[in-house]
Structure 1
Amino acid sequence: MTQADYDDYLATAATTFASEKVKAGTWNEQLAFQRASETYQRLLPNGIKTPDNYFYRIDQDKTKVGVLWLAKSHDNPEAAFIYDLYIFKDYQNQGIGTEALRLADDEARQLGFKRIALHVFGHNERALHVYQKSGFEITDINLEKPL
């Protein structure tokens, strides 16, 4: 990923993350964007040059169709963590996400990792299906209900 691609990604990433956290009921709408921005700043203090973070532009026929952010896990140094995999709407449901996950596995192996992990929001059933189809297994489940 180039710096320009990273800048494009970052321009919408915090808003998207904030929206997902609100949808999941984790954050309230008033503070969501601020919290998301703080999270990105904490995780990427040096932007695209932050050590142990790897950014990829996903292309199909020379057209940008998505992005992948892979990083060394904070919890397990032998594991890569997929912080973000996003396929643009016009290119979803075409197998691109599944192929990107296969390539992420290959890249993580080449970087020396022995495992790969990610987080998925509970309301994102389509992504959960793709991840499980790609060999990911559920390791933790948080449950919540309104009172």
Structure 2
Amino acid sequence: MLTLKPMSQKDYDAYLSTAVTNYAGEKVKAGTWTEQLAFQKASEEYQRLLPNGIQTPNNYFYRIDQDDTRVGVIWLAKSQDNPETAFIYDIRIVKDYQNQGIGKQALKLVDAEAVKLGFKNIALHVFGDNQRARHLYEESGFKVTDINMEKKLSN
């Protein structure tokens, strides 16, 4: 059975040790940041968003467990733009458990958790080239609200 369990400090420390690097890599891949500055910028963004780590108010960290095995993580927070909206900053499914419907099930659990926390909406960001995630989110009822676009210029 799939469940959400609040992260312990140990879980959070393990999550953070890879989350900043993963985020930096995604921003480089998307062309938003240069490789030279990506890790520094990602570290600064995490520090800005989570000045008190797991104890930062209005931030909720969960393990996604399949029975007693951790198969993923999720970071949910009160939106800075709309207090009625929960924002999913990060959702990750362990590679060996991907493509098994766990992400879709986890999003349903996150919806229920957001309602328990008093939220009326849930939002997230997805990188444009992440077709698999975009498909999952659209199947789960998310709609596009903003689109940023970029093109390379030739000299």
How far, CA to CA, are the matches of 2:86 and 2:19 in structure 1?
20
Match of 1:28 in 2: 34
Match of 1:78 in 2: 84
2:145 pairs with one of 134, 139, 144: 139
How far, CA to CA, are the matches of 2:65 and 2:118 in structure 1?
24
1:66 pairs with one of 51, 56, 72: 72
Deviations 1:107-143 (A, max 9, x none): 0001000000000000110000000000000001111
Runs of 4+ more than 4 Å apart: none
How far, CA to CA, are the matches of 1:26 and 1:125 in structure 2?
18
TM-score by length of 1: 0.99
TM-score by length of 2: 0.94
- Could you tell me which runs of 5 or more consecutive residues in structure 1 were left unpaired when the two chains were aligned: none
Match of 1:90 in 2: 96
1:13 pairs with one of 19, 35, 38: 19
- Could you tell me which runs of 5 or more consecutive residues in structure 2 were left unpaired when the two chains were aligned: 1-6
Q: Aligned letter for 1:146?
A: K
Q: Percent identity?
A: 73
Match of 1:130 in 2: 136
Q: Which has the higher contact order (CA 8 A, sep 6+)?
A: 2
Q: Aligned letter for 1:119?
A: H
Shift of 1:55: 0.3
Q: What is the RMSD of the two structures over their aligned residues, measured on CA atoms? A: 0.4
How far, CA to CA, are the matches of 1:89 and 1:57 in structure 2?
15
